[in-house]
Amino acid sequence: MNLETKKRTFVGLLLAALAILGILVYYIWHLTFFKSTLYSQIIFVILIVFLAGLAGITLLGLFGIFLAVFKIPLFPSWQRVIRMSVNIFYPFIIQLGRVFKITQDKIQRSFIELNNYLLEIRYIRVHPKDLLLLLPHCLQQSDCSYRINTDITNCRKCGNCMIGSLMDLAEKYRVKVKVVTGGTLARKEIELLQPKAIIAVACERDLSSGILEASPLPVLGISNERPQGPCHNTCVNIKHVEEGIQFFLQR
């Protein structure tokens, strides 16, 4: 499946969510004419205004994504609307995917690809000191005796895993690099280092949740490869990581 198809999965579900929301707004509006009390009508009107506002944000976000596909520049405020609509409806889209028999992994991959694409059209550029490369601890060989969770420089660069190559990459471009064991430690490192952009390597589940939690901080997500199963001796495409670094540092 190509990247464009991946993006379309999430955008299609977002469009379906908008249609459902529109039907709900119409249904609630229709019910107001069958309520005799003023109190009930006020409650319904408040609900309609709230849901109509969500529908409006989503519609603007979808239209912005459509323009972005054709490389049409968008105002920063419009870009924020796109991120807002995607983030607000993400939990609902996951549930909606189950109705259409779409796996959560597929939706999350689509979300990550859409997020990365939206970052590309924003042309975000940062200094090396403001870029953080965030790595999962499962990239290290499970039988390695040199723990790198607290200090990545404990790595001996023996070549048995990809940590040494990723360290070389971080040193080459003079960017910060940290290895984390989960979302809690990742949030702690972000709060401590205060980066202006992040390149995160992880599984789709952790990437999608991390992107949402870090918003509006730009996070470029790169899925790891799991030949031996999840959270065990994983690896990542070094070329993709370097391309991500070059994207953020490009002048």
Q: Which residues pair with 223 in a beta bridge?
A: 202
CA 97 from chain centre, in angstroms, equals 17
Q: Which residue has the higher pLDDT, 241 or 51?
A: 241
Which comes out higher in pLDDT, residue 2 or 80? Answer: 80
The structure tokens 């990239």 sit at 139
Is residue 158 predicted with pLDDT exceeding 80?
A: yes
Measure the CA–CA gap between 25 and 64, rounded to whole angstroms: 22
Name the region of 174 (left: φ>0; alpha: ψ -120 to 50; beta: rest).
left
Is the confidence at residue 122, as pLDDT, over 90? no
CB 65 within 8 A of CB 82: yes
Pairing label, strands 176-180, 197-202? unpaired
Tokens of 68: 């972005």
Q: How far is CA 173 from the centre of its chain?
A: 24
What is this structure's pTM? Answer: 0.80
Between 134 and 51, the higher pLDDT residue: 134
Average pLDDT rounded to a whole number, residues 36-61:
73
- Domain extents in the chain: 3-122, 128-249
223 pLDDT band, cuts 50/70/90, is very high
Cα–Cα dist 247/244, whole Å: 5
Average pLDDT over residues 209-219: 89
Region 115-120 average pLDDT? 86
| CA–CA distance, 164 with 141 (Å, rounded to integer) | 11
pLDDT tens digits, 140-153? 988 898 888 778 88
Residues 6 or more apart whose Cβ sits within 8 Å of residue 173: 128, 131, 245, 246, 249
Would you state the pLDDT for residue 5? 47
Q: What is the average pLDDT value for the chain, to the nearest integer? A: 84
Q: Given a cut of 70, is residue 175 above it in pLDDT?
A: yes
Whether pLDDT at 121 is above 80: no
Q: What span, in angstroms and rounded, lies between the C-alpha atoms of 225 and 245? A: 19
Mean pLDDT of 200-221: 91
CATH classification code of 128-249? 3.40.50
Q: Are 199 and 135 in contact (CB under 8 A)?
A: no
Does the structure show a pLDDT above 60 at 4?
Answer: no
